[in-house]
Amino acid sequence: MSAPSRIGVVGAGIVGLAVARRLAQLRPDARITVVDKEADVAVHQTGHNSGVVHAGLYYAPRSLKAGLCTRGRGLLREFCADHGLAYDECGKLVVARDEGEVPALREIERRATANGVPDLRWLPGVALREVEPEAVGAAALHSPRTAVVDFAAIARAMAGELRDKGHEVRLGFEVTGVRRNLDGGVAVCSAEEAFAVDRLVVCAGLHTDRVSRLAGDGPEPAIIPFRGEYYRLVPGRSGLVRGMIYPVPDPRFPFLGVHFTRRVSGSVDIGPNAVPAAAREGYTWGRVDLRDVWATASWPGVRPLARRYWRTELAEIRASLSKRRYLASAREFVPALRDDDVVRAPAGVRAQAVDRDGALVDDFRIHRVGSVVTVRNAPSPAATSALAIGEHVADLVLADRG
């Protein structure tokens, strides 16, 4: 097949925009169209996250996550410098709350070292107070290069750059169908209109399984939404932490545990937890979508998942419903935190991919079905890694199908 001249991307989150940006660099003559159902870019995960540029501490060496996070971090730093966007290396401390957590923290240190995380330091006992005076624990790992950014601002800059180069970012276009054309290309359809492309990339976040199926990909993995709720320190107490303070995460779970994160705005958030959401865009307990509930309940992987994690999830739900319980876990490593130090902050919803057997998909997962590439799992640190995911996916899109 000749070089594709029309390429479509579904999803104007940071992943879709980074893929489009890379395609525009590699094929300046191609016409690239990014579509999103919302009225703006970055409305979902990209605009509702912790804003952390992960340095690569946790990821299994040689996984896609490890490689793309490391490369993506460097590219993101350059992008922010080139576009005058904030990139604040305020550093992160991962704290072992007691001796029992030290072996797990040593494992994180081993992975981080294998992943080439720069300037790591092991801080025994009280030494961790040099970095974070209010933190307590048996030991800590300090990653001074972990940074914070505003991922929504980065996504807006990417969209602006694409438009300046003559490409299209069409908002308010909800993809409801994808038709295969006889020439090998596809027609991307909304309820009102359609356009034809030679290649299509699906980066639809919380709906990526549905849109991928429309485009001919299989049902696995399915997306199960997990809400991440936050509290925010009131301005007078934001001096409680200098940068970021994390607990040692439960290694069986893909989430990092409730932590303290300084935002580029200077405010400090505590969170996110991980509670099952009753809607893919369920930012509050009150938001229920019966189609989403049915999609979750009918996925074969949900039963084994629930059997494995019901205790953890019950604890997460109880903490979600009780501020006192929620803050108790954060107080284990920052004891000076008081209940009246915080107010509620906006939540996010994670698109967690789950296999048919109930396994929570940990690594990034990308499929290719003929002229369509689908990004099926792009959880944290996908925002950090977006520019590197863009390179990886663009190479797949442009590779000869043979």
Ligand X SMILES: Cc1cc2nc3c(=O)[nH]c(=O)nc-3n(C[C@H](O)[C@H](O)[C@H](O)COP(=O)(O)OP(=O)(O)OC[C@H]3O[C@@H](n4cnc5c(N)ncnc54)[C@H](O)[C@@H]3O)c2cc1C
Cα–Cα dist 355/378, whole Å:
14
| 115 touches ligand X by CB under 6 A | no
Residues 49-108 contacting ligand X, CB under 6 A: 49-52, 54
Site string for ligand X, 220-239 (x = CB under 6 A): --------x-----------
Least distance from ligand X to the Cβ atom of residue 126, Å: 28
Residue type, 140: A
Site string for ligand X, 157-186 (x = CB under 6 A): -----------------xx-----------
Site string for ligand X, 333-352 (x = CB under 6 A): ---------------xxx--
Q: Could you say which DSSP state residue 150 is in? A: -
Name which position in 22, 27, 48, 376 contacts ligand X (CB under 6 A).
Answer: 48
With contacts defined by CB under 6 A, name the span among 109-117, 199-207, 238-246, 338-346 that binds ligand X.
199-207
Cα–Cα dist 81/75, whole Å:
10
Tell me whether residue 53 or residue 136 sits nearer to ligand X (CB atom): 53
Name which position in 21, 22, 27, 44 contacts ligand X (CB under 6 A).
Answer: 44
| 206 touches ligand X by CB under 6 A | yes
Residue type, 85: L
Contact 123, 142 (CB under 8 A): yes
Cα–Cα dist 24/82, whole Å:
18
| 204 touches ligand X by CB under 6 A | yes
Q: Is 209 exposed, middle or buried (0-12, 13-18, 19+ CB in 10 A)?
A: buried
The separation between CA 276 and the C-alpha centre of its own chain, rounded to angstroms, equals 16
Name which position in 131, 360, 383, 387 contacts ligand X (CB under 6 A).
Answer: 383
Q: Could you say which DSSP state residue 308 is in? A: H
Contacts of range 190-193, beta carbons closer than 8 Å, 24 or more positions apart: 190/35
The separation between CA 397 and the C-alpha centre of its own chain, rounded to angstroms, equals 22
Interface positions with ligand X (CB under 6 A)? 10-16, 35-38, 43-46, 48-52, 54, 174-175, 203-207, 211, 228, 272, 348-350, 378-384
